[in-house]
Amino acid sequence: AMVDCELCKICLPIVAFVVAYYFVLPLLGIFFRHLVLTKLWSQRRQLKKLGGWAVVTGSTDGIGRAYARLLAKDGLNIVLISRSQEKLDDVAKELRDKYSVQVRIIVADFSQVDVYDRIERELSGIDVACLVNNVGVGYSWPTYLAGGPKPLDAGELQPMLNVNCSSVARMTRMLLPRMLPRGGAVINVASGSGLQPTPFLSAYSASKAYVVNFSESVAAEVRHLASKGGAVKSVTVQTVTPFFVATKLSKIRRASFFAPSPDAFVSEALNLLGVEQLSLGCLSHSLQYLFMSLLPSCVSNYVLCSTMYSTMQRSLKKQGKNN
């Protein structure tokens, strides 16, 4: 009994320290950033002072459309870039009617590599305060890269990489030099699947990991340039890594706390601009990621693999019924 008592005296403080270090402190940090620092440090309201325009790719649906809508609500003129003329016209009309801002549209298919010279010409002469690299394409359903009943079509790979990776690098390279003299923001929308390996979405997950690493690297470069003074101002480079949002891409129709609507998600994400460089975007997703990070990687990988496999099976079954 005496030995057990002594062990308890030694172990309890250690357990308390581990719980506090890995759970309580990160949890308090999440609430502090979301509830306090967004009121003190958010750069959202500064964007209009840094230039009159925001450029949003993939701006006709879901998260991209919400960014366009909320930035217009904040008083910025908007350049919408997507591949559907009809959808672009609809969004442009909504923004002009609701927010009385100027709107330009550029029809571009980012799966093609020859669109950037034309985009650059059409963006010449405007002061861009914010670039939102949102355009992205995912799998039609979770599946094996190779093998299995219906593996990923090899023809989908290069267009996916063009849209998810090349567009981010090319648009950032195009507009960042114009922001450096006066400041601004580059917001790169990645995905929670870019934060950890995601079986059955391997190419998509890897493409979003590229966005995370690219953004973090560019952010460090910009800070280094700004630290040298001179004519270079600080440009905020934020990476947003959402989990599930109620969008067409996620196939979730009804919004909830853990799968918020695009507008609710983007409103929180914009408030975190300048607060979190690598951001989950909203409180619920930050909590999800904290709980996931507490699991051993072998456990989280097993759960994720099982979940994605089940999703694949349901998709294949649904296709079989439709056929």
pLDDT tens, 234-243? 899 999 999 9
Q: How sure is the predictor about 163, in pLDDT bands with cuts at 50, 70 and 90?
A: very high
State how far the Cα of 283 lies from the Cα of 139, in Å rounded to an integer: 27
Whether 2 has a pLDDT exceeding 70, the answer reads no
Whether 233 has a pLDDT exceeding 90, the answer reads no
Structural domains counted in the chain:
1
In a domain, 220, yes or no: yes
Contacts 24+ apart (CB under 8 A), 42-45: 42/270, 42/271, 42/272, 42/273, 42/274, 42/275, 43/185, 43/236, 43/273, 43/274, 44/74, 44/270, 44/271, 44/273, 44/274, 45/74
Burial class (CB in 10 A: 0-12, 13-18, 19+), 76: buried
Beta bridge partners of 238: 187
In a domain, 201, yes or no: yes
Q: How sure is the predictor about 19, in pLDDT bands with cuts at 50, 70 and 90?
A: low
**What number is the average pLDDT over the span 158-175?**
98
In a domain, 12, yes or no: no
Query: Residue 304 is part of which domain span?
Result: 38-322
In a domain, 81, yes or no: yes
In a domain, 153, yes or no: yes
Whether 64 has a pLDDT exceeding 90, the answer reads yes
**What number is the average pLDDT over the span 319-323?**
64
Whether 33 has a pLDDT exceeding 70, the answer reads yes
pTM: 0.91
In a domain, 122, yes or no: yes
Instruction: List all residues 6 or more positions away from 230 whose beta carbon is below 8 Å from its beta carbon.
Output: none
Measured CA to CA in angstroms, residue 302 lies from 8, 37, 243 at distances of 33, 35, 18
Compute and round to an integer the Cα radius of gyration of the chain: 22
**What number is the average pLDDT over the span 4-30?**
72
Of 148, 133, 126, 37, nearest in space to 82 by CA? 133
Whether 3 has a pLDDT exceeding 70, the answer reads no
Do 185 and 273 meet the contact criterion of CB atoms below 8 Å apart?
A: yes
Provide the pairing of β-strand 103-107 with 128-133.
Answer: unpaired
End-to-end Cα, the chain, rounded Å:
69
pLDDT of residue 185: 98
CATH of residue 134's domain is: 3.40.50.720
Burial class (CB in 10 A: 0-12, 13-18, 19+), 245: buried
- Active site residue: 67, 204, 210, 289, which one? 204
In a domain, 9, yes or no: no
Tens-digit pLDDT profile for residues 210-226:
999 999 999 999 999 98
Catalytic annotation on 204? yes
In a domain, 18, yes or no: no
pLDDT of residue 196: 92
pLDDT of residue 318: 82
